[in-house]
Structure 1
Amino acid sequence: MRPSILLSLIVPTLLSARALAAPDLLPAEPWRVVRPDEAAMRVETIQLERPVGGQSSAVKLTVLRATDPFYHLQIAKEIPQPIAEATRLRFSFYARSRTENPMRAIVEKAEPPYTPAVEIRPTLTPEWRLYTMTGISRAYPARGLGVRFQVGHKEGEIEVAAVRLEDLGPDPVMMNARAAIQPDAVDQRIRQNRTASLKIVVRDASGNPIKNASVSVRQTRHAFLFGSNIFGLNTSDTSQTQRLYQQRFKDLLNFATLPFYWGSFEPQEGQKAYDRLETMARWCRDNGLMTKGHPLIWHEVYPRWAPAEPDAAIPLLKGRVYDIITHFKGLIPYWDVLNEANNAPDYAQTGTGAWIKRDGAARVVATALRWAREASAGANNVLLYNDFNTGQANVQLLTELQTMKSLPDAIGIQSHMHGGTWPLEEVWATVERFAVFKRPIHFTEATIVSGPRPAGPGSPWVTTPEGERAQADYVERFYSILFSHPAVEAITWWDFSDLNAWQQAPAGFLRKDMSPKPAYDRLMALIKGNWWTKAEATTGATGSCTIRAFQGTHEVTVTDGRGRKATIAVEVPLKRKTATVSVTLR
């Protein structure tokens, strides 16, 4: 779970003459060793036998001792000038390694939380190759953006030459996104994509139209899924804090994510938390909440008892997928089947990570989805692949799955913003990037904090009045933009309250005492206010009337001048543009 990145191209390629004309932002100053340790890495400038990329010298990095994490060995430069919002950057370099070392080349924020703008992780070859990547940068002050080469994966030699970071100017995709996020455009799309023309026809028992009948339409549920993880649910806790948590959750939302992390679900082999999760799932069902299990397969929160070897882990993972989906069939219809495969090779010490590193992310994701589909036989389950990577790596993974005819039923996009909010243009552009796969998009883990990150380790991360106002303002626009896009079908918040929130961050809609923050009230005004059908109408001469209704479940009540009355439930599904319902008064 890390901040998203925005990439559009990552391929070894040749630079055109036009590309070379773009301004190079890299200073001529020497590369800086971030953590000097001559016993672990030696850095020197060498002369080449022949020019590479127009240069006769290269930087040689000799890794004498691998480090964990690998980024403890790196060289860096900071960009001396400020970078404008939505600037398209092209990062290019030549590299080789006679020892075929892996490397991480990255353009990122120069200080914590090190938000990436461009990133690639090649395994280098003994021959020189040119790597070119483009990405979109956020706004940065002078020396606020840095270029790094991180090399601590294994011992060996790496040579890097002709490094360039080019300013290609404002990104046209982001310029289009800027127009798309304007409030008028958002409101127009919400009306177009989230409402339907609902025609109510009223007749008597003989089939004759009833004129001047009063029609009242009240929404009772959204078809769109507005959710949060519900990890704080404890049905046996009768405290005021827990009561408020439960009440405020179901008052606002209709979708809940339940925790199935393997290491906590089965801390000892065979000791599975079925009872606890079943109690949570039944409470959700009884209180009108759709449910999702998260995650079935992940390289983190891996049980200590589970094997690290792929061949030993795979049968256990398959059994876990089959057992859990089968056990909760009919109770939990949504599943994050596999989580963050793009990042798994960094966790090769676990069986899942080692499997993905060995066989490749696409093959593993396809296998896991096949297991989940087989286990879901007879159930109307929705199976997701979930990732924080919003750039080229995830696009490539999904493209491979598409080629294999193994796309998930829905695409899960994480949007944790502990280090700062995404530009709203980036939110729109991210949806557009993944909408091309023609699968519903779920924003699965959305976080916007309501207080600044603490200055030092050990300091509490607290909510502040200013942070709460900023959180509410961003939440309103973020949800509106996503709700307006026809590809998005769910938004899940992470976490519902500040109490025990991930990273102990003030990430909730509620404070630790369960009092609502402005973001809760602002979202309530949208979900159960602006985006909630409450309509009155009167039938005409044909015994009918038409209203605009948000997609979801509605209660339609009809009365006439003779005191006859009828109430029926009407479902307007997602994507439906028109609907007709007949009501008979007897």
Structure 2
Amino acid sequence: MTNPRATHTTLTLRDADGAPLAHRDVTVAQTRHAFGFGCTGFEFIEHATGEADRTAFADAWLGLFDTATLPFYWGRFEPERGAPDTARLRQAARWLRERGVRLKGHPLVWHTVKADWLDRVPEDEVERIVRDRVTREASDFAGLVDTWDAINEVAIMPRFDNEPDGVPGAIPALARSLGRTGIIRLAFETARAANPQATLLINDFDLSEDYERLIEDALEAGVRIDAIGLQTHMHQGYRGEEQLLGFADRFSRFGLPLHFTEISLVSGALMPPEIEDLNDFVVDQWPSTPEGEARQADEITRMYRALATHPSVEAITYWGLGDGGAWLGAPIGLLREDGSSKPAYDALCALVRGEWWHAPQTLRTDTDGRVRVEGWRGDYAVRLGDAERAFALSGAADTDIAL
């Protein structure tokens, strides 16, 4: 497959008077990929607010990833009605943005990790409260978080009744009342009204034809969806390149960017195949093993090579850098609990910040001040002496820069 990320441009470098900077040695370096190499940013909240020192973790994260998903699970973000955790998350968002990290919020509407107080609200008030919640978060974080999972796992939402407290959920009831297309419209149109510049995703783990029909129905109803999220947690084993690329091929028919939003690979024993709901698998310990770590490194390399070069895929988010506190207690992280790196971390670094990265390189301009730059699409900088200018490698044939 031809790599759609690789491209080139010819820089023409000029001085302040417009004269070409001929026969000069300039340094060109990449600063960020256009492709979103993402990971959860949940762990940065306490670090950014000064509640915990996670400097080593942050260095490892920033040494590999460029896009962070921040948690907006309603039950944790606003466990007490009227007291959202806005200030802490804004501080974490600013900390990450200052370091050049792109941000996504997850999720605005979801039936799980619910706000228990919402279930006690009169049914005829729920829709207004959900709209107010979406408006508040999309507005309060505009300019910091401009990408959102607008609605999460709506394929199952209207029939979801597996609440641990046995109390019927207000969100599934609302989804039944409005219908799946109706609640998708609520999430997308409310978020877009609050932040017209936002990129809004629909996101699901159900990658069956049902999800395709759901997307098709919403688009036909006039709902504007900016990108499609595909979850691929692999606690029961690697799905393989053929199946993952098959998902990408199927969902590319909508002509929308695809984000593999929640990816995980186990570096220990695999979850038994007979488990249908991954949440039902509960063990006291789930250790990482040398054999599992070798397998994880091989699988993550193959997976990223396949997905990152599919023309419809624009982002991949790995679901957790470290094992500590990982979903279901599984050893899915790229760092062990003691913070040491697993082979998968090193293997992914070798791709994202090695093979696919334009490290600082000295190039010499020709008589017309031109120099050709090749690499993955993204943000770059060119330096001559103390002067430095940013430019984008985006496929444009020529770029003029005054230094």
Please say whether Structure 1 and Structure 2 have the same fold, judged by a TM-score greater than 0.5.
yes
Deviation of 1:454 (Å): 6.9
Alignment of 1:280-429 (within 5 A): 280-307=92-119, 310-348=123-161, 349-377=168-196, 380-429=197-246
Aligned to 1:444: 261
The aligned residue for residue 388 of structure 2 is: 567
Partner of 1:198: 9
Seen in structure 2, the aligned counterparts of structure 1 residues 206 and 266 have a Cα distance that, compared at 3 Å, is: closer
Report the AA paired with residue 229 of structure 2. G
Secondary structure of the corresponding residue to residue 342 of structure 1? coil
Offset at residue 307 of structure 1 (A): 2.7
Looking at structure 2, the residues matched to 291 and 307 of structure 1 have their Cα atoms a distance apart, in angstroms, of 30
Runs of 4+ deviating beyond 4 Å:
204-208, 454-457
* Partner SS for 1:516: coil
SS class of match (2:177): helix
Alpha-carbon distance, 1:584 to partner:
4.4
Over the matched positions of the two proteins, sequence identity in percent amounts to 36
Q: Work out whether residues 347 and 354 of structure 1, in 8 Å CA contact, stay in contact via their aligned partners in 2.
A: no
Change in Cα spacing, 1:472 to 1:334, as seen in structure 2 (3 Å) is same
**Structure 1: distance between partners of 2:76 and 2:114:** 8
Alpha-carbon separation, structure 2, partners of 1:579 and 1:532 = 20
Tell me the equivalent position of 1:460: 285
In structure 1, the gaps of 5 or more residues are 1-184, 560-564
Distance 1:305 1:533, change over 3 A: same
CA distance in 2, matches of 1:313, 1:336: 20
Structure 2 residue aligned with 1:581: 399
1:226–1:255 contact (8 Å) kept in structure 2: yes
Q: Select which of 325, 331, 336 maps to 1:511.
A: 336
> Is residue 383–residue 410 contact of structure 1 (8 Å, CA) maintained in 2?
yes
Tell me if 1:264 matches 2:76: yes
The letter for the 1-side match of 2:5 is R
Name the structure with the higher helix share: 2
- CA, structure 1 residues 557+458, in 2 after alignment: closer, same or farther (shift >3 Å)? closer
- In 2, Cα distance between the equivalents of 1:457 and 1:282? 36
For the residues of structure 2 that align with 1:579 and 1:556, how far apart are their CA atoms? 17
Paired letter, 2:92: M
Q: Distance in 1 between matches of 2:192 and 2:27?
A: 42
Q: Look up the equivalent residue of 2:144 and give its one-letter code.
A: L
1:442 counterpart SS class: strand
Instruction: Report the counterpart of residue 373 of structure 2 in structure 1.
Output: 547
Alignment deviations for residues 7-39 of structure 1 (CA, whole Å, 9 cap, x no partner): xxxxxxxxxxxxxxxxxxxxxxxxxxxxxxxxx
Task: Supply the distance in 1 between the matched residues of 2:260 and 2:203 (Cα, whole angstroms).
Answer: 9
Partner Cα distance (1:311, 1:427) in 2 = 42
Query: Is the contact made by 1:255 and 1:290 (CA closer than 8 Å) also made in structure 2?
Result: yes
| Number of positions where the alignment pairs a residue of Structure 1 with one of Structure 2 | 384
Contact kept in structure 2, 1:440 and 1:489, CA below 8 Å: yes
Distance in 2, matches of 1:251 and 1:237, equals: 22
In 1: Cα distance, 2:195 partner to 2:336 partner: 38
**Given the alignment, which residue of 382, 388, 391 partners 1:556?**
382
Name the CA shift for 1:363/1:454 in 2 (closer, same or farther; >3 Å).
closer
**In structure 1, distance between residues paired with 2:21 and 2:306:** 41
Name the residue aligned to 2:35.
Answer: 224
What does 1:76-95 align with in structure 2 at a 5 Å threshold? none
Whether contact under 8 Å (1:454, 1:460) holds in the other structure is no
Unaligned runs of 5+ in 2: 162-167, 273-280
**How far apart, in 2, do the equivalents of 1:238 and 1:579 lie?**
47
Which residue does 1:433 correspond to in 2?
Answer: 250
Shift of 1:310: 4.8
Contact 2:219 2:225 in 1 (8 A): no
CA shift, 1:542, in A, is: 3.2
For the residues of structure 2 that align with 1:347 and 1:311, how far apart are their CA atoms? Answer: 20
Higher relative contact order (CA 8 A, sep 6+): 2
Which secondary structure does the structure 1 equivalent of 2:299 belong to? Answer: helix
Q: Which secondary structure does the structure 1 equivalent of 2:190 belong to?
A: helix
Q: For 2:255, what is the secondary structure of its paired residue?
A: coil
Instruction: Classify the secondary structure of the residue corresponding to 1:269.
Output: coil
| Kept after mapping to 2: 8 A contact 1:454/1:461 | no
Please state which structure has a larger fraction of its residues in strand.
Answer: 1
Report the Cα distance in structure 2 between the residues aligned to 1:222 and 1:280, rounded to whole angstroms: 22
The CA deviation at 1:448 is 0.6
Displacement, 1:203? 3.8
Displacement of 1:205 in angstroms is 5.3
| Structure 2 residue matching 1:341: 3-state secondary structure | coil
1:398–1:407 contact (8 Å) kept in structure 2: no
Matched to 1:350, the amino acid is: G
Native 8 Å contact 2:235 2:271 kept in 1: no
Deviation digits for residues 461-506 of structure 1 (CA, Å, limit 9, x no counterpart): 1101111111111111111111101211111111111000000000
Q: Secondary structure at the match of 1:252?
A: coil
TM-score (norm 1): 0.63
Matched-pair contact (CA < 8 Å) for 2:237–2:270: no
Letter in 2 for 1:484: T
> In 2, are the aligned partners of 1:196 and 1:579 still within 8 Å (CA)?
no
Contact 1:345 1:353 survives alignment (8 Å)? yes
Structure 2 counterpart of 1:277, one-letter code? L
Q: Per-residue CA shift, 1:295-332, capped at 9, x if unaligned? A: 11101111221136653321111110011111111111
How big is the shift at 1:211?
3.7
* Contact 1:566 1:583 (8 Å CA) reproduced: no
- Matched residue type, 2:315: A
Partner of 1:87: none
